[in-house]
Amino acid sequence: QVQLVESGGGLVQAGGSLRLSCAASGRTDSTKAMAWFRQAPGKEREFVSTISWSTGNTNYADSVKGRFTISRDNAKKTVYLQMNDLKPEDTAVYYCAASRLRWLTTVSSNYDYWGQGTQVTVSS
């Protein structure tokens, strides 16, 4: 089993920044990629970004390209999401997820482990 714990959410004004962290523990060697998803009230969970543990390759949703940056610290088994120029439409619960697949995927059902989520609220 793999446990994921997110932190770093909060309330920020539009145009501000936040950095989310996701610490992985347990059988982390079984995971190949990490990702961030988000879910706003009344909406489906959507892909935000993903990163490979080994190569550092990344992928982003079009809605966050140029504003969000995903990174990882392999030694700490921690993934980060730096969010800049935040907009009210970024308001959501942000979830960290881990996949055992060897390729990057944007599909939530391909992720095996999930964190509890952290709330990000952007005021206008």
Secondary structure (H, E, C), 47-114: EEEEEECCCCCEEECCCCCCCEEEEEECCCCEEEEEECCCCHHHCEEEEEEEECCCCCCCCHHHCCEE
Helix or strand holding residue 120 (H, E):
strand 118-123
DSSP bridge pairs for 13: 123
Q: Helix, strand or coil for residue 20?
A: strand
pLDDT tens profile 33-56: 999 999 999 999 999 999 999 999
State the Cα–Cα distance between residues 18 and 4, nearest whole angstrom: 19
pLDDT tens profile 84-123: 999 999 999 999 999 999 889 999 999 999 999 999 999 9
